[in-house]
């Protein structure tokens, strides 16, 4: 049991980082991590699959976030309370003011943020991501490709700005 706890302790900072990238709010992120760990610990014996523990926990946390998010749509004020606002969608105006990769990342839709974090930041394999999302590997790759293009476009805002200034 202590061995399991040690493994979990190492992963918790990564879970918290992932949760913040989903909720954009530190305290609701920790609530999410907590319920993820509760779920993981109570279903450890029968549900824990072979393979990367991290990927399994990411999957639990992601599903819990989506469930809560979906349910909360009915109560817009609660949503604001938990996440500090609705999903920001990329727009032309926002593209121009995107100043850093992180800002651009924050403006991506939920699934694209999750994909980029899993693949580019955490280094999960396409197969592991496919299992988390329960889709074929090919689908992961095409969604990842779209996510990268979107991030690229938003980050390119930096370059657009000086060009606009020169026009004046």
If binding is defined by CB under 8 A, does position 38 make contact with other proteins? yes
Q: Which residues, at least 6 apart from 140, have a Cβ–Cβ distance to it below 8 Å? A: 115, 126, 129, 130, 133
If binding is defined by CB under 8 A, does position 79 make contact with other proteins? yes
Can you tell me the distance from the alpha carbon of 114 to that of 98, in angstroms, rounded to the nearest whole number?
19
Q: Identify the residue among 66, 99, 144, 162 touching other proteins (CB under 8 A).
A: 144
Identify the three-state secondary structure at position 156: coil
Q: Judged by CB, which is closer to other proteins: 59, or 79?
A: 79
Q: How many helices (H) and strands (E) does the chain have?
A: 11, 0
Q: Which residue in the block uniquely carries the two structure tokens 């991290």?
A: 54
Residue 51 and residue 106 in contact, taking contact as beta carbons nearer than 8 Å: no
If binding is defined by CB under 8 A, does position 82 make contact with other proteins? yes
Residue 157 and residue 99 in contact, taking contact as beta carbons nearer than 8 Å: yes
Per-residue contact string for residues 113-132; x = within reach of other proteins by CB under 8 A: ---xx-xxx-x-xx------
Q: Judged by CB, which is closer to other proteins: 88, or 102?
A: 102
Residue 22 and residue 62 in contact, taking contact as beta carbons nearer than 8 Å: yes
Q: Identify the residue among 60, 62, 105, 131 touching other proteins (CB under 8 A).
A: 105
Q: Identify the residue among 55, 57, 59, 68 touching other proteins (CB under 8 A).
A: 68
Q: Identify the residue among 48, 51, 75, 97 touching other proteins (CB under 8 A).
A: 75
Can you tell me the distance from the alpha carbon of 29 to that of 6, in angstroms, rounded to the nearest whole number?
21
Q: Identify the residue among 51, 85, 87, 152 touching other proteins (CB under 8 A).
A: 152
Closest among 110, 98, 105, 106 to 156, alpha carbons compared? 98
**Contacts to other proteins by CB under 8 A:** 1, 4-5, 8-9, 12-14, 16-17, 20-21, 26, 30-31, 33-34, 37-38, 41-42, 68, 71-72, 74-75, 77-79, 81-82, 100-102, 105, 116-117, 119-121, 123, 125-126, 138, 141-142, 144-145, 148, 151-152, 155
């Amino acid at each position: 049991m202590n061995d399991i706890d040690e493994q979990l302790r190492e992963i918790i900072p990564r879970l918290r980082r992932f949760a913040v990238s989903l909720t954009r709010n530190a305290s609701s992120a920790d609530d999410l991590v907590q319920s993820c760990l509760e779920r993981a610990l109570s279903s450890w014996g029968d549900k824990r699959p072979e393979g990367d523990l991290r990927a399994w926990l990411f999957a639990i946390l992601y599903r819990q976030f989506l469930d809560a998010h979906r349910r909360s749509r009915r109560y817009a004020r609660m949503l604001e309370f938990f996440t500090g606002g609705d999903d920001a969608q990329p727009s032309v105006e926002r593209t121009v003011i995107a100043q850093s990769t992180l800002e651009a990342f924050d403006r991506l839709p939920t699934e694209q943020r999750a994909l980029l974090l899993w693949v580019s930041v955490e280094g999960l394999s396409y197969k592991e991501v496919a299992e988390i999302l329960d889709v074929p590997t090919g689908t992961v790759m095409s969604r990842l490709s779209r996510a990268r293009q979107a991030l690229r476009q938003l980050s390119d805002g930096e370059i657009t700005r000086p060009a606009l200034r020169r026009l004046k």
